Amino acid sequence: MSSETTEIDDESPTAAETDRSAVETKRAGISLSNIEKSYGDVLAVEDLSLDVEPGEFLVLLGPSGCGKSTTLRMIAGLETPTDGRIDIGDEEVTRTLPQERGLSMVFQSYALYPHKTVRGNLEFPLGKMDVSDEERDAKVEHTAELLEIEDLLDKKPGQLSGGQRQRVAVGRTIIREPRAFLMDEPLSNLDAQLRVRTRFEIRELQQELGTTTVYVTHDQEEAMSVADRIAVMNDGELQQVGTPEEIYKTPTNEFVAGFIGNPPMCFFDVSVGEGVELLPNGESVRLDTTLPADTETLGVRPEDVHLLRTPAADVANVSRPDLDDLTNAMTCAVRVIEPLGNAYELELARGEYTFTARVRALPEGVSPGADVEVAFDRTELHAFDATGEAIR
C-alpha cells in the first residue's frame, strides 16, 4: 500500500516475473448475459446483463435481498445460473467449477484458520499450486508488505484486531494473483471508522494491482467512494450502471434516485399544467418551472432546496447565487435542524410533505418552529412518470 512495495518488485526477480505473467491474466473482463437465477418460486436474479471492464472496480449495490450475493456467487461458480451465460476473459465459464475460473473471493466473515499463523493463512490458497518454497515465501512476504502486515506473520488470528484480520483475509485473496477479485460486503464486520479507512485501502490496493474487482455492498456511500462504476440492483433486477457521478446526477428511475444520496432525494406528487402544481390540491403550490407533461413525481435533492427568506431577513443566501435559476418561494415550517459541522440539514414541512434542505450556513431567525421561504433550483429538478422512469 505504500510506494516502496513497487520498488521491491523490481529488485526481486521472482516477484517481478510473477507480476508480469499476472498482468496478462489479472485484467480479465467479466461478462454476464441475460443471467437468471431462481430458487423454487423465488426469482433471485432476473435477466441480468452486465459487462465488467478489464481492470475495473465495479460495485454491485442494492438493498438486502436484491440478488447481489447470488450474482457474485454465480460469477464465482458457487451457483449455477438457471439461464444465461457468463464469460471471463474470452472464455465461457457458465458451468465451469469455481477453481477453474481463476478468481478469488472475500466473504463477509473472514474465515481465517484460527490455528494457523498469519503466514499459514496467507500460504494456504497457494496450496496445490506448483510453486517452490522460495516462491511461496516471496509471495507471502510481498503480499504482507502490500498490506503492511509484515509484523504479524507469526501471530494467530485470535491475537489480531478486526481490521488486521480483515487485511489477512484480503491478503489471502490477492496472493494467488487471480483474474478478478470478488468481494461480498467485506467491511460489514468492522466498526464505522475502520470501515472508512479500510475501504480506501482496498481501493488503493486495487488500483496498485490493477485487478478487475466486483464488490458487493448495500451501503450507497461506500459504493460511491470506491467504485469506478456502480451497478444498482433492486428486486433481482439491474436498475442502472454508471459512474458514481452519473448515478447521482442522472438516476434512471425513482428507485435509484431515492437509494443514492444521503439525506435522500425528496419526492413530491405533482400535476403539470401551467407550471407545476404540488399535490394534494389543499396544499397546492404552483412552481414556475416546466417539466414534461406526463410528470407525476418531482424529485429534489436536499442541496437544491435553497432558503430565500426567514423571519429575520431576506437571505438570498443561496449557495448558487443565480436567483434566476430558482422557482418561486414556498413557505415551510422548520421542524428540526441538524448541524453537521460544515453544513446544516433542515427538516422542513409543508402540508403533508416533509423534506430536507441542506444549507452551508444557518441564517438568522431560522430555528425549529419558524416559518421560512424556500425555493428549488429549477436546473436540478428530477421528473418521473407514472411508472417511476426518469423523464428529465
Binding site for ligand ADP (CB under 6 A): 39, 42, 44, 62, 64-70
Q: Which of 69, 104, 198, 234 binds Mg ion (CB under 5 A)?
A: 69
Burial call 273-288: b when 16+ CB within 10 Å, e when fewer: eeebbbbeeeeebebe
- State how far the Cα of 69 lies from the Cα of 183, in Å rounded to an integer: 9
Concatenating the DSSP letter of every residue in 51-74 gives: EEPTT-EEEEE-STTSSHHHHHHH
Using CB atoms within 10 A of its CB, is residue 268 exposed (0-12), middle (13-18) or buried (19+)? buried
The pattern of x and - marking residues 114 through 153 that bind Mg ion according to CB under 5 A reads ----------------------------------------
Choosing among Mg ion, ligand ADP, none, which partner's interface includes residue 70 (Cβ < 5 to 8 Å by kind)? Answer: ligand ADP
Positive or negative, the Cα torsion across 11, 13, 14, 15? positive
Nearer to Mg ion, 58 or 375 (CB): 58
Nearer to ligand ADP, 64 or 281 (CB): 64
Nearer to Mg ion, 36 or 145 (CB): 36
Q: How far is the CB of 60 from Mg ion (least distance, A)?
A: 9
Nearer to ligand ADP, 118 or 216 (CB): 216
Considering only the stretches 61-69, 118-126, 138-146, 344-352, report the one whose residues sit in contact with Mg ion under the rule CB under 5 A: 61-69
Q: How far is the CB of 177 from Mg ion (least distance, A)?
A: 26
- State how far the Cα of 15 lies from the Cα of 228, in Å rounded to an integer: 28
Considering only the stretches 62-70, 136-144, 152-160, 247-255, report the one whose residues sit in contact with Mg ion under the rule CB under 5 A: 62-70
Pairing of strands 180-184, 103-106: parallel
- Around Cβ 21, how many Cβ atoms within 10 Å? 10
Nearer to Mg ion, 69 or 289 (CB): 69
Give the residues lining the site for Mg ion (CB under 5 A): 69
